[in-house]
Amino acid sequence: MYYQVNRKHATGVILLLFVVFLWLVSSFFTNNLLNDPGFFNPFFITYLNTGTFVFYLIPWYLFERKDLKKDLTTHASIYESLDGNQNSRTYVRNRPMTVRQTASLSLGFCIIWFAANYFSNGSLAFTNVASFTIISSMSGFFTLGLGAIFNVEKFTFVKLLALLASVGGVILVVIQDSKQIPDGHNSPSQPALGNTFALLAAFLYGCYSVLVKFHVTEENYVSMRLFFGLVGLFDIVLLWPFLILLHYYGVEKFQLPSTNSGNAVLLLNAGITFVSDYLWVIAMLMTSPLLVTLGMSLSIPLALFFDIILKGHYLNFTLILGSFLVFAGFIVVNYNQTTYV
């Protein structure tokens, strides 16, 4: 049993590493899109990315719909045989979710997820990718607090110290980011606003991580294709009026990028989100909300490297130390969880 649990945990960590890489690539794509003066559309980018999830309903309908009905019928029969048994309540919590239950979870997830990603995309328009990535890692701090409240994370002193180290790293990087010498096009346009958006996104990431783990204890208890397909459907149906309102009031124009390369990046970014967010939820269910939210810190060294190489930002001891603290926080939390499984 111990071997199976740790093997599952290791699989979740591997998936998380792949997701972190995809999110980093997506961050640079979004940053480049929003740096185009003629295409400041963070809401539209988020709407398109989330809307693509509706395509998950196709394989669910073709391959999983009938199996779900059979599983629910089988579990209902077993539950009846357990009626009056003290284990029946636990069993009900762990049986597969119905379509209606999945839809209810998808609706709550859609709203929080969309808001988190909107603030993320907005942040990338005002600050650089490295600062955004590091500040977003503070979602682990919010996840630990919310997770302890809803009993999906075990609060320990070691985890708190690891998160405090991450927060210390965030503070160092934000201070250093504010000292960047303006260099024209490559400088963050409004780093204070961008960092604030990133912090809001971090809080919302923590919220929806705990939300899903609280309602779904194992990845086998919900159809991920149905879950994400409904998230995309709710996004398309409920949020399209905001595209019109934002266009009408001049907040952002409802338009596509002016170049073919911009359109290609827009679609490629949506495809990355389509894959990465699906794998992220599976990784979270295999490990824990705290680990996957703190796992975003693993992209910090790569983010710093690409910002230095591609955009001319300079590297110094403060940036290195801040990155090391956040990275160390992830390692400590991962070790703490695997030790006490």
Q: What is the pLDDT of residue 78?
A: 39
Q: What is the pLDDT of residue 232?
A: 94
- At 9-42, the pLDDT tens digits run 888 888 988 998 888 888 778 777 776 777 778 8
Q: Does the structure show a pLDDT above 50 at 156?
A: yes
For the entire predicted model, the pTM comes to 0.76
Tokens of 61: 């309908």
| Average pLDDT for the chain | 77
The residue assigned the tokens 């309540």 is 89
Domain residue ranges of the chain, discontinuous segments joined by +: 2-339
Q: Is the predicted pLDDT of residue 167 greater than 60, yes or no?
A: yes
Alpha-carbon gap, residue 112 to 312, rounded angstroms: 34
End-to-end CA distance of the chain: 10
Contacts of 221 (CB under 8 A, 6+ apart): 94, 95, 96, 97
- Report pLDDT for 176: 67
Task: State how far the Cα of 137 lies from the Cα of 330, in Å rounded to an integer.
Answer: 10
In tens, the pLDDT along 56-88 reads 999 998 887 766 555 545 444 434 444 445 444
Tens-digit pLDDT profile for residues 200-246:
988 998 888 888 888 886 667 788 899 999 999 999 999 999 999 99
User: Residue 95 above 70 pLDDT?
Assistant: no
pLDDT at 233: 95
37 CB-contact burial (10 Å; exposed 0-12 / middle 13-18 / buried 19+): exposed
